[in-house]
Amino acid sequence: MSDSLMATYNRLPVTFARGEGVWLWDTEGRRYLDALAGIAVCGLGHAHPAVRDALCEQAGTLVHTSNLYGVLEQQRLGDLLIEQTGMERVFFGNSGAEANEAAIKLARLHAHRKGIDNPAILVTEGSFHGRTLATLSATGNRKVQAGFEPLVQGFVRVPYDDIEAIETAAANRSNIVAILVEPIQGEGGINVPAADYNARLRAICDREGWLLIHDEIQTGMGRTGRLLAHQHDGVQPDVVTLAKGLANGVPIGACLARGEAADTFGPGSHGSTFGGNPLAARAARAVLETLRDEDLCSHADTIGAWLMEALRETFAGTPGVVEVRGRGLMIGIELDRPCGVLVGQALEAGLLINVTAERVIRLLPPLILQQAEAEQLVETLTGLVRRFLETD
């Protein structure tokens, strides 16, 4: 591969030329079942006609003008997002990290308005919030931070899925203004908290006057079987961030807010040149409309439940398999040992998967996954994992 690129990624020895649905073809013409969807990005699969048509049409109409003017497609997307999420206002950026940066700035500005000069945001161990300085400082993974010190201050870390630790922090500190948390941790290993965790976070935030900020960059856009993961819990955050699946691969990020938080930013307090431009906004609207019209969140819920059950059955009693967990089409298979080599072995077998937190196989297939494809996924993966566990 070319030396012209900075070596920020350990790339696998494959290059893709085209895709269709859940399938990808490499430059040699080999076909792969994509059970990663560009890391939870291509929820509608590859080359979806609705996204293709939206992009082609918009490219021939208007791509960019800037946020100095009214942007019709951004307004339309905002209206649709508000309607479908129960939030009140939205700011658009171009990535997940930018969406979280907006949320962090919003929480700080909100705090300063209330007279808190040194605001702190509670974050959790094992979290991932991005690679910019503020978001890597919020991230609960030393590997992401190492070498980039001094980190951004103002984050207080507690273990994930630990209400007691939050109560202790609440009792000992007066400068906490928000909790920033993933409803299910993605990069951290598909960590599903206790069923009442998100509801209890909501209750604590209400009691303390903190903002509940959900990072739904990975869990959002139907991934867990609802448009947003917190909709499973009947919990409404004050701020929610979206990106990955929002425009099926066209770069976009969104920070949505409601209540007091929705009115925090004013002219000049935040901005983005590209954010919410007509092309990206049009693609995102096509995604939201397709999810709604084709009932794809329910589909992800149903096929995800089948997939998880099938994986639990096939691995039941298998020494080396610790747990199969997740929600909808966000599934982790935890092994008792590091299993990064499985990614390359799966690639050779024509299957794209990911391993995160060293020993958790992560599956994030497109939401359009059909039964026969899900069966093929289980069959291929079962063989690979069994062989790995027997020979490792």
Ligand X SMILES: *Cc1c(COP(=O)(O)O)cnc(C)c1O
Nearer Cβ to ligand X, position 37 or 310?
Answer: 37
Nearer Cβ to ligand X, position 129 or 359?
Answer: 129
**Closest distance between ligand X and the C-beta of residue 301, in Å?**
20
**Closest distance between ligand X and the C-beta of residue 190, in Å?**
11
CA 253 remoteness from chain centre: 11
- Fill in the DSSP letter of residue 151: P
Nearer Cβ to ligand X, position 8 or 391?
Answer: 8
| Segment holding 130, helix H or strand E | none
* Annotated binding residue 45: no
218 part of the interface to ligand X, by CB under 6 A: yes
Coil, helix or strand for 249?
A: coil
* Annotated binding residue 79: no
Comparing every residue's Cβ against ligand X, the nearest one is 96
How many residues touch ligand X (CB under 6 A)? 15
Q: Among the candidate windows 17-25, 212-220, 341-349, 383-391, which touches ligand X by CB under 6 A?
A: 212-220
Per-residue tokens: 26: 């490499």
- Find where tokens 């905002």 sit: 78
Per-residue tokens: 15: 């290059």
* Annotated binding residue 29: no
Contact indicator for 231, 221 with CB cutoff of 8 Å:
no
- Fill in the DSSP letter of residue 381: H
**Closest distance between ligand X and the C-beta of residue 138, in Å?**
9
Nearer Cβ to ligand X, position 50 or 247?
Answer: 247
243 part of the interface to ligand X, by CB under 6 A: yes
Nearer Cβ to ligand X, position 241 or 264?
Answer: 241
Q: Select the residue interacting with ligand X from 32, 91, 92, 128 (CB under 6 A).
A: 128
By the 10 Å C-beta count (0-12 exposed, 13-18 middle, 19+ buried), 199 is classed as middle
Round to whole Å and give the CA distance between 25 and 22: 10
Instruction: Annotate 100-121 with DSSP letters as a single string.
Output: HHHHHHHHHHHHHHTT-SS-EE
Q: Select the residue interacting with ligand X from 215, 233, 238, 301 (CB under 6 A).
A: 215
Q: Select the residue interacting with ligand X from 21, 78, 119, 130 (CB under 6 A).
A: 130
* Annotated binding residue 92: no
**Closest distance between ligand X and the C-beta of residue 178, in Å?**
16
* Annotated binding residue 313: no
* Annotated binding residue 96: yes
Q: Select the residue interacting with ligand X from 77, 107, 121, 217 (CB under 6 A).
A: 217
- Angle 351-333-45 from CA coordinates, rounded to 5°: 40
256 part of the interface to ligand X, by CB under 6 A: no
Q: Which of residues 145-204 bind ligand X (CB under 6 A)?
A: 182, 186-187
Nearer Cβ to ligand X, position 96 or 154?
Answer: 96
Instruction: Annotate 8-65 with DSSP letters as a single string.
Output: -S---S--EEEEEBTEEEETT--EEEESSHHHHT-TT-BT-HHHHHHHHHHHTT-S--
Helices (H), 48-196: 49-59, 72-85, 96-113, 133-138, 142-145, 163-172
Q: Which of residues 39-98 bind ligand X (CB under 6 A)?
A: 95-97
129 part of the interface to ligand X, by CB under 6 A: yes
Per-residue tokens: 327: 């929600």
Active-site positions read 128, 215, 244
Q: What end-to-end distance do the CA atoms of the chain give, in Å?
A: 29
**Closest distance between ligand X and the C-beta of residue 179, in Å?**
14
Cis peptide bond N-terminal to 49, omega within 30? no
Nearer Cβ to ligand X, position 6 or 171?
Answer: 6
- Angle 364-80-367 from CA coordinates, rounded to 5°: 20
Q: Other CB atoms closer than 10 Å to residue 309's CB: what's the count? A: 12
Per-residue tokens: 225: 């079987």
* Annotated binding residue 135: no
* Annotated binding residue 380: no
**Residue list for the binding site for N(2)-acetyl-L-ornithine:** 131, 272
**Residue list for the binding site:** 96-97, 128, 131, 215-218, 272-273
Binding interface with ligand X (CB under 6 A): 95-97, 100, 128-130, 182, 186-187, 215, 217-218, 243-244
**Residue list for the binding site for pyridoxal 5'-phosphate:** 96-97, 128, 215-218, 273
